Amino acid sequence: METKKNKLTIAIDGHSSCGKSTVAKDLAKALGYTYIDSGAMYRSVTLLCMEHDLIDGEQVNLVALKPLMENLSIHFTFDVEKQQYITWMNNRKVEHKIRSIEVANNVSVVSKIDFVRSKLVAMQQEMGKQGGIVMDGRDIGTVVFTDAELKIFMTASPQVRAQRRFDELKAAGHQLTFEEVLENIEKRDFMDANREIAPLKKADDAVVLDNSSLSKEEQLAILIDLVEQRSN
C-alpha cells in the first residue's frame, strides 16, 4: 500500500488473547512493515527463569536473574514455508516452548519486574527506531512508543478470547481444558491491569477496537483505513 508519509510506528495494545498478534501480523504484511511481538519477549524471559529454576510461586530470584538479563538476546525470524514468526532467545529457537500454559502461568510475575521491563523496553525501542513497525503488547502506546502515529487498544470478551486461545493451543498440540485457559486469561487480565509498573491501560490517544464479533478481514480493513488517515 502506498502512503504519503512512509514508515509509521503502529502500537497495538490490549488484553491477552484478543487476537492482537493475528491482526498486527496481517497489518504488517499488508504494509510491508516489520512485526514485533513484545509478549514473546516477556514469555522468553519467563522461560529463561523457569529453565534456571528462578521462580518459586510469586517469588523470582532477582539476584540470579539480573546477570542473565544483561546477556539476553532476542530476535525474530519468519519461516516462509510455515508462514510463521519464530522467536529466538540467546540464539535458540524458543517459539514452541514460550507458548506453553506453564509459561503463560508464570509470565505475569516476571513481567512486573522493573529491570526486566526496562531492558525489554530498550530492546523494543531499538528494534523500532527506524519506524515501519507494528508492535503489539500491553504498554506499546503508553511506554515504548508514546509518539506512535497510530495507537490501537484491542479487546474482546474473556469467553471469546479463551475460546480462540483454546483452539489455537489445541491445534499446536498443547494438552489442556477450556476452563484452564479461561482461568489463565482472567488471572492475566487482572495482573496486567493492576501491576505497579506499566499496567495495561488505554493510551489517551488510542483508538479502541472491540473485535468480539469482527472477522479478521473486517479488523484489517478498519486498521488499514486508520493507517491511511494517519498517513495523509
Looking at 16, 44, 184, 211, which residue binds ligand DC (CB under 6 A)?
Answer: 16
Looking at 26, 134, 138, 142, which residue binds ligand DC (CB under 6 A)?
Answer: 138
Looking at 12, 107, 162, 226, which residue binds ligand DC (CB under 6 A)?
Answer: 107
**For the CA atoms of the chain, what is the radius of gyration?**
17
Q: Which is nearer to ligand DC, 102 or 228 (CB)?
A: 102
Is residue 38 near ligand DC by the rule CB under 6 A?
yes
Question: How many residues line the site for ligand DC (CB under 6 A)?
Answer: 14
Whether the CB-CB separation of 85 and 25 falls below 8 Å is answered with yes
| C-beta neighbour count of 34 within 10 angstroms | 17
CA distances, 197 to each of 54, 62, 113, 115, 187 (Å):
21, 16, 8, 11, 17
Sign of CA dihedral 189, 160, 204, 223: positive
Which part of the chain contacts ligand DC (CB under 6 A), choosing from 72-80, 83-91, 133-141, 151-159?
Answer: 133-141
Distance, CA of 61 to CA of 64 (rounded, Å): 6
Q: Which is nearer to ligand DC, 3 or 78 (CB)?
A: 78
Residues that bind ligand DC (CB under 6 A): 16, 38-39, 42-43, 107-108, 111, 137-140, 188, 192
